[in-house]
Structure 1
């Protein structure tokens, strides 16, 4: 198997004849030169940025250096070094800078930049000087003696006055060049491991599996919402239209039928068709109400509050959100209001919904008796599972005697800049049937 790092290459018998000593030398030499430049830049940034504009220039320099170092890491680490930063969910430089400032990867890159500028680059150059500079100086002893003509000092310490001594020094240099290639590569491997740990940590196998589970779960949520829309469309455009036609036909037949048993049976069939049509419309509304699809979560929650049996004070201000988030938020609000009406004994409730820092937060509070128990069959367990699919959380605070607060938090990006909101108001069951 091909060696991927200097540490793996050290165990190979052909290590001195392979490319890894040169890779290690190039990595450390370029690191020393880059670190010297970064040290000078940090001296300037450390004065001007803190006095004039604060920390952002230092953060940006750490981000830039992190990108360079991840590319330079390929000299001694053949495994890819992926960018650990997340793409911004909102446009604009301020959103990008806010996201980067909140990421751990940004601060790890800044820490690495400070290490490189203060400690690592002198160590890199010292390792290159000892492992390559000393042997090369000894190898050049015959050339130095020929240039001087009489004598020369090798590495400023050893006086050479004859060619046999010069060639002996060159032989010693060749042996040292091979011998010191091993510690040089080991040091380069340690430097690369430190750089990867701070700039591009390898994901464990379990983390890879978790990432795949999260991605597949997101695909399942999208597929579920698409299937929900298809079922709603088929019921609305297919079965509902046929039932409407059936009800009209039965109604016309009832009018044309003479009084008697046949007319009575037609009247019963007509009434039954009307009840089935009503139940089908309620079923379609429960799958995905039209107001949610047309106007968004804010208006859909207002509609649910108007239909609540308990008066609801509504405070909702939301933009359009992804469909899966809107569906989960809507059904969470509906289930919470239904529990208030059925189980709490409350005289009033309050529903609040906001989008803050990329998270939908929905609170339903009532003045009822409290003691809500998710294990009591109130639908809260299924609601929590539905929200967890979107990486959301559901928390309930319900002491005995009340009040009860149900809070739903779902992370989500904003789908569009236009907001659909409702002002604070009180909705009651008398508002809409």
Structure 2
């Protein structure tokens, strides 16, 4: 699964965002932006200055052209730097620039200078070396000042006994979360401007669409494998569990029938007692088989979900969970069946993981519909450390959510708490209320 964009991370609850990698990615983006801006300023400044000074000799034109062409590799480096915020993505240099059919520097330069993309990249590098550089340096200075406010006053108070020095720390500490959000906002804005300048409108939408198609294709393949595995599991459970119990029941009833027939012929009270015992055993086998079949069917699709909806089904799962679970589901009406099924299985699997792996003492399931989306969060007070990665146990939930255009977000820092959030679009469906 790809890394979520910084803009999406900033919409999470403040504590979730501040304890995630988002602020660090924003700071890394701003710091590397300052470095790239400084390099671009030096290189462009030298080439443009020398080009203007030597223009009377004819050499200056070559240097000015070199300044424009230098923006091509610098812009490609900036596209790669965007991955700090946007996550991995395809390289689009081939789509943005026309291919050069003849080898050599001169044909390459001739083609590039006639392309609008090259001039857009040159404009971006100029912005990077001026506006972005000033903003990034100012933010880095601000970060340095905040760090000094937090670190140095306690040292001064410790060595000199001047408790008043801690006033600066009291100012700096609450300013840090505000600054981290500011860094994230500036980084997201710079990334937005970068995409506007470095990608034409068609190229900006095509990568997202292609990436979405690729991800959905992979999800469909994983789901197909998961469904096949689940089919074999159900077949195995029926064959090795309920089927064997029913076979034993048939055999027990057959023996009971023989014993009772013999008892009737011989009026043997001991045989009658043994027959009664066999019937009792058969009744126990039948009850066990029935319970096993009910559990199996319940695991496929619970009847309470069909009859009473998501809130009732989640409450039933919470009652069965070994860890105490509080359910806070605010649903005024029934949702589309696919949405309810997806949310139910995500909650069910999440609570299973809570019981098996988290070491939690309690959990909370909250859910409701907001702005046309169902949002369900399963939070526990366990040890944390869970990850949404390829091959993990949560990958199946990610794929199931993707089928209904949903999104799964996980916050699980070491030490906890862990919060798994599902967001699913839920348009009104006439069938949902049936």
Q: TM range, normalised to the smaller chain?
A: 0.3 to 0.5
* TM-score, with structure 2 as normaliser: 0.41
Q: Which has the larger radius of gyration?
A: 1
Q: Which has the higher helix share?
A: 2
* TM-score, with structure 1 as normaliser: 0.41
